[in-house]
Amino acid sequence: MKTPFISRVEITNFRSFKNLQLDLEPTAVVVGENAAGKSNLLEALRLALDPSLPDSARRLRGEDFWDGLPKPFAGHIIEIKVFIKGFEENEGASAILSDCVVSPKTALLTYQFRPRKRIELAETATNGGEGAGIAPDELTDDDYEYLVFGGADEKHVVGNEIRKWLAITLLPALRDAEGDIQSWRKSPLRPLLERTRKLIPEAHLEQVREDLDSAKAKLLEVEPFSNLIEAVNARIRHLAGPIHAVKTDLDFAASEPDQLIKSLRVFLDQPRTRPLSDASLGTANILFLALLLEELEMKQKAKEIVSTILAIEEPEAHLHPQLQRLLFRYFLGRSHSILVTTHSPNIVAVAPLQSVVLLRNIGDETVGFTSRNLSLTPEARDDLQRYLDVTRGEMFFARAVIFVEGPAEQFLVPAFANAYLESNFIGSSLDDFGISVCSVNGTDFGPFRTLLSPGGLAVPNVVITDGDPYESNGTTKRNGLKRGIRLVHPEDLRPEMQATFDAGQETETRTALATEGVFVGEHTLELDLLPSVAGEMKAAYRELRISTAASARFDAAVDEALAGDEQAKAQVLYRIESLGKGRFAQRLASKIQGQPAPEYIQNAIQFIVQQVSNGDIKPE
């Protein structure tokens, strides 16, 4: 059976959102840099849907208005529209949302924070004067009210009686799970114990109290304890005098039934019972989430809620990668719609591709991007889903991405980039600019390029690929250029580039591709490196191969390749491949500090650094 989920959110003038319009899947995984607006999105949804949010929290403050407004209040309206789908097969949800339906399969809940209806705002007359009423600039928080209503008619007011049946439940980011569990006021154990308390007969609790009294008397009847109690009471009388002194006693807990329940705490059930403080941070977090989910399950079984949307903030805290993935897969397997905010590539790696939502700060506002409407073939989408392991998941957290073919480029491109940044005094590494180097383990850049295109997640990116020359009718052409043309977005730029390539104008084709972020070498990476770092390549090979004779043959092949000998070039590649391209590149990367990169790699680095520096993100 389908479950209700948030299918679309529209947010106006709230915190970092000027005008956010975002389509969502039943499972939504929200990523983005720090301060990109992930928590703001959850708070916006809570204003409309969270029954645990007190009404006082729905009255907003000046700092809750979008920062780009010249002045908060001043007649501006904060509006949050939450569109809900998937409720038509749920009889209870359909009944609750009956007044909120705006189309056969879509319901709408709207939160507004606006000037009070009784306030008449001044309007500027056509002659330049002002009409009667209060000038917008004079409005304060006292002149504002909030309203949550369903459908297109604000008379259909949505209150807690509706929100408690169809709710958003926030599982917060865990900062001190152990402390919160042990604190009665904050503990997720509290509602479970209070619910259980109602099911326990009073006679049973009375018997427990009598047993505790008997155990206490047995323990304290020995002389050392009785002496201790008397000594403490005597000390109090000396300090406070006979009038103000209070008499104390020792006990396991207060003996009233409700106090007995409150005194219960979680312990670790191990060969030797241990307090929760002995647990790891990750274990405490898992326990915290388990208690919250158990309460939710009990509410569902007791029919206190019809359905709920789980909003989970940074579930990865203090968990190792495998446990992060297990936890997220557990949430995926539940019947509830879920919305997760995360900084974890491990979680993104196992998330459905269409569920990923990227929030980015562009100018002075937060903008959202998804891949759900991309024109990817099912095969390409499946390939991307398989490719999204932990390493490639990093692309969702980068300000920009350099796509490369394999591990050799992954080692060498950052090394060349570091040298370029340091020599120009603009940084020390690609991390300074939030740029990630991601390998596609081959030459199938197309799906990755489409995913990060302006119509998708709109992440600036470049491609670095080999030239891969071949002979055609006595002319040398390069597969890399043909491949690059297929990577250009928008597609209407491709025919002209293809015509230029077919006419044999490789230089012009290469230049045109570079303007679109595709940088193509002359040969393979290793051969393109020879003119600038031949000596370093010889040294790296010598350290890895050990054999003096083999190193001498490699040195000779390098010299002959530099002279243009094609067979020698093949020998250089063969000998490097026999060591492993990635292994060779790793050793070489430690030796090329300060050396110039091949021109196409240098141009790619300059291009992407410039894009990040200029904030070049162009959503469609």
pLDDT digits (tens, 9 = 90+) for 47-77: 999 988 988 999 999 999 998 999 999 999 9
Q: What's residue 127's pLDDT?
A: 43
Q: How would residue 189 be classed by pLDDT, with cut points 50, 70 and 90?
A: confident
Amino acid at 381: R
Condensed to tens digits (0 to 9), the pLDDT of residues 338-386 reads 999 999 888 888 888 899 999 999 888 999 999 888 878 888 888 888 8
More confident residue, 45 or 176: 45
Q: Which of 442, 520, 528, 435 lies closest to 484 in space, CA to CA?
A: 520
Q: Helices 202-220 and 223-244 meet at what angle, rounded to 10? A: 100
Strands across the sheet containing 337-341: 166-171, 307-313, 337-341, 27-31, 356-362, 365-370
Burial of 22 (0-12, 13-18, 19+ CB in 10 A): buried
The mean per-residue pLDDT over the stretch 266-285 comes to 72
User: Sign (positive/negative) of CA torsion 351, 354, 358, 359?
Assistant: negative
Residues in the chain, overall count: 620
The whole-angstrom separation of Cα 524 and Cα 573 is 9
The conformation of residue 2, written as its DSSP 8-state character, comes to: -
Q: What is the CA angle 509-510-511, rounded to 5? A: 90
Q: Which residues contact 615 (CB under 8 A, 6 or more apart)?
A: 362, 363
Q: Which residues contact 409 (CB under 8 A, 6 or more apart)?
A: 437, 439, 464, 525, 585
Q: What's residue 118's pLDDT?
A: 67
Q: Where are the domains of the chain?
A: 5-24+53-165, 180-282, 374-521+599-614, 525-589
Condensed to tens digits (0 to 9), the pLDDT of residues 278-330 reads 667 777 777 877 887 888 888 878 877 877 888 989 888 778 788 888 888 88
H helix runs in 333-463, sequence order: 345-350, 378-387, 390-393, 407-423, 446-451
H helix runs in 580-598, sequence order: 581-589
Contact 366, 36 (CB under 8 A): yes
Contact 102, 152 (CB under 8 A): yes
The mean per-residue pLDDT over the stretch 213-227 comes to 84
Contact 84, 108 (CB under 8 A): yes
115 φ, ψ to 5°? -60, 145
Q: Of 74-83, 257-266, 428-437, 577-586, which range is least confident?
A: 257-266
Contact 466, 480 (CB under 8 A): yes
The whole-angstrom separation of Cα 336 and Cα 312 is 12
Residue with tokens 């570091």: 418
Q: Which of 124, 107, 116 lies closest to 140 in space, CA to CA?
A: 116
Structure-block tokens of residue 437? 């180097």
Q: Which of 13, 343, 6 lies closest to 168 in space, CA to CA?
A: 6
- Write down the pTM of the prediction: 0.82
Strands (E), 300-386: 307-313, 337-341, 356-362, 365-370
Q: How would residue 619 be classed by pLDDT, with cut points 50, 70 and 90?
A: very low
The whole-angstrom separation of Cα 113 and Cα 562 is 71
Residue with tokens 């405490």: 284
Residue 110 has pLDDT above 80, yes or no: yes
215 φ, ψ to 5°? -65, -40
The whole-angstrom separation of Cα 452 and Cα 401 is 9
Q: What's residue 128's pLDDT?
A: 45
Burial of 17 (0-12, 13-18, 19+ CB in 10 A): buried
Q: What's residue 176's pLDDT?
A: 65
CA atoms within 13 A on the CB side of 239: 9
The whole-angstrom separation of Cα 213 and Cα 220 is 11
The whole-angstrom separation of Cα 176 and Cα 387 is 35
Condensed to tens digits (0 to 9), the pLDDT of residues 410-422 reads 999 999 999 999 9
DSSP element (H, E) containing 108: strand 106-115
The whole-angstrom separation of Cα 597 and Cα 607 is 14
The whole-angstrom separation of Cα 484 and Cα 510 is 9
Q: What's residue 289's pLDDT?
A: 79
